[in-house]
Each structure stands twice: as C-alpha cells, then as structure tokens.
Amino acid sequence: MDMDSCWEALEELAGASSTSYDEPTREEIDRWCNLFGYVESEAPDVIKEFRLDLNRRRLTNDQWDTIKDDKEAEGHDRETYEHQLQLSLTQSKISSRPRAYDDQALFVFKLGPPFADIESLQSAVGVLATLKKGLGEEGDVDFAHVTGAAKRAIEDWIETQSPRPPRPTFIRLSQSPKDLSNMSSHPTLGINSSLPQHRLQDKQAHAPAQMEYPVWYLFYGTLADPETLQKCIALPSTPRLVPASTKGGVLRNWGRKYKALVDGPADARIDGFAYLVETADHEEYLRFRETEAYEVVRCPITLEGGEEVQGLTFRFVKQEDLDVD
C-alpha cells in the first residue's frame, strides 16, 4: 500500500454514505453466499470490507486471463477468486502469526451511528481511539483510528446489541509500528532488550524517545535513494543523505527485490545512509511506506567522519516471508 492509495480510499470513504455506496448486486451476493457459505444478511458487509481492503492481494490481468475460463466454470468471477486466495493465505499463516501482530495493526473508520464521536465509542466499548479529521462532499468528516485489538472489541460489542446497529466499515492502514519504551532500550536492533541489563539505571534516558524530533534514521534500501525519499515525505528539494552505518543486524532478501533488516550478531555491520527526520508527520509518511512488515527500532548510528548518534531504523518482522538463502 502506498500513501496515494491510502488517502484516495479515505477520501472515498469520507464522501460515501449508506445511500451513495455502490452496493453489491443481487447476483454478486448470491455468488458469494454459494461459494463461501455466507448468509444473505452478512454477505454485503463481507463484500464491502473486502473491496475496501487496501492490502489485499490482486491478480494481474495476465494472471486472471490464464485461469479465467476454469474459474468461471467453477462459479467464480475475478473478485471471488481473489477472496478465496485471501482466505487460503490467512488460514495457512494463522498458526504461525502471533496474535499481537494483528492486535497492533491500525484501522480507520468513519464515525457515525452507533458511534457519533470518540467519547461515545469509548463509553460504549471501552477502547482507546484517536480522532482524525477528513473532508467529504458535505464538509468535515470525523474518523476514528483504532488498533486491531480495539477493532475486534468493537465488532464483538456490535454482535451483543439488539437490535444490531450498523457495522462500521474498517480500512486497514498498513503502518510500521513504533513503540519505544521509556523503561528500557526496547526495541533495539540486535539486542534482547527484555533482559535486566537493558533497563533504565539511575534515571538515565534511552534515546531516542517516542516523540523526539528531529531524529536520525538509518536507511538501507529504497529509502536510501534521495529522489525516493523526497517523494515519500513530500520535500520541496532533494534531501541530504549522510553515509552511515550501524551494528547488530544483517540484511536478508524479501520478495526477491526488497532488503529486509533483521537482528544479527552484535558486531555485524550494516552500511547505509542516515537522514535527520524533522517532524512526526514526515516520520508517519515513512512508516506508511514501509508498512507493518517492518517495525521502528532503536539503533546506534555512526555517521561519516566518525560521529556517533542514537537513532532509529526499520526492522523486518515478517520472518516467515523472507526469501530462502
């Protein structure tokens, strides 16, 4: 998912209403019920959520053309077959993926009945949410940002209500998690920061802090290209990247074209480029670009010339998806 796709989807949702949304046709509902066993009342919501899922895998035109005749003979159209692939992928990974991975995912939904505002959401369900403003066809629109754990709690609450209120349309925002502890060095590249020796001593502060800006980042992949970085965070001019390195990690390959930084020996050196991220907004753009396949972690950075700073980098978390060496 890139930032343009993300914001286009949010703008579409901001301007949408229950009457303007392109509802599934009768034929589409019947097809989904017949193929997947959904009941008629739930199928429209399932289809709607599937279509708004920014992270779902899509077949290319060539891939679909190759199997189209066989799949249509089985009752599929392109959309239902993509849904079948999604279900198969989910089932194959569900046993190996930790629950916390989904719990920390970020979702956004448009506030409206039964949750008119953040306060009513928190009062009814007891979950934390962040208010975000958007602009729709009829003016300002309020969105709630929630974690995957909060999303599940909202869905469970709705199921207990009678009559059952409308179910919000959740859009998953694939963003690298950032949760820097103020009690220990966790998370730090190449270090098991849960061990006692990495906890705070004598009120020392582990740097960088969660909301510390500007902050140095070490880039080792596509973000190390100045033009790519400029486009990602919408800079007016080409950014200055400084040759730099860190220790404690190794680079692996992901998807045969992406670099993935994972923990390594303490003396393992990674060369890259450092950049001073000035604002939280710029950092958020970077986290959206890297997606939840990565997490933000602390790391020591040695700049060209020998200066050492405490900074951050993106560590790969989806170990099961790494290419086999």
**133-142 contacts, C-beta under 8 A, 24 or more apart:** 134/10, 134/11, 134/14, 135/11, 135/14, 136/11, 136/14, 136/15, 136/16, 137/14, 137/15, 138/15, 141/14, 141/110, 141/111, 142/110, 142/111, 142/117, 142/118
DSSP 306: S
Q: Indicate the burial class of 73 (C-beta count within 10 angstroms; 0-12, 13-18, 19 or more).
A: exposed
DSSP 21-49: S-PPPHHHHHHHHHHH---TTTHHHHHHH
CA-to-CA distance for 211 and 213, rounded, in angstroms?
6
- Amino acid of residue 223: L
Give the pTM: 0.60
| Contact between 274 and 300 (Cβ < 8 Å) | no
Would you state the pLDDT for residue 137? 59
Would you state the pLDDT for residue 1? 47
Tens of pLDDT along the chain (325 residues) come to 455 555 555 555 555 444 345 688 999 988 888 888 777 777 888 888 888 876 677 888 888 888 888 888 888 899 998 888 877 765 544 344 444 446 767 888 889 889 989 999 988 898 888 888 776 656 688 899 898 889 989 988 988 888 888 888 888 888 888 989 888 888 999 987 666 655 555 444 578 999 999 999 999 989 999 999 999 998 999 999 999 999 999 999 987 778 899 999 989 999 999 999 999 999 999 998 898 889 999 999 999 999 999 999 999 998 777 877 6
Would you state the pLDDT for residue 97? 45
CA-to-CA distance for 270 and 316, rounded, in angstroms?
14
293: which 2 tokens? 């396949």
CA-to-CA distance for 180 and 177, rounded, in angstroms?
10
| Contact between 240 and 224 (Cβ < 8 Å) | no
74: which 2 tokens? 């089985």
Would you state the pLDDT for residue 291? 86
- Helices (H) and strands (E) counted in the chain, each on its own, are 10, 11
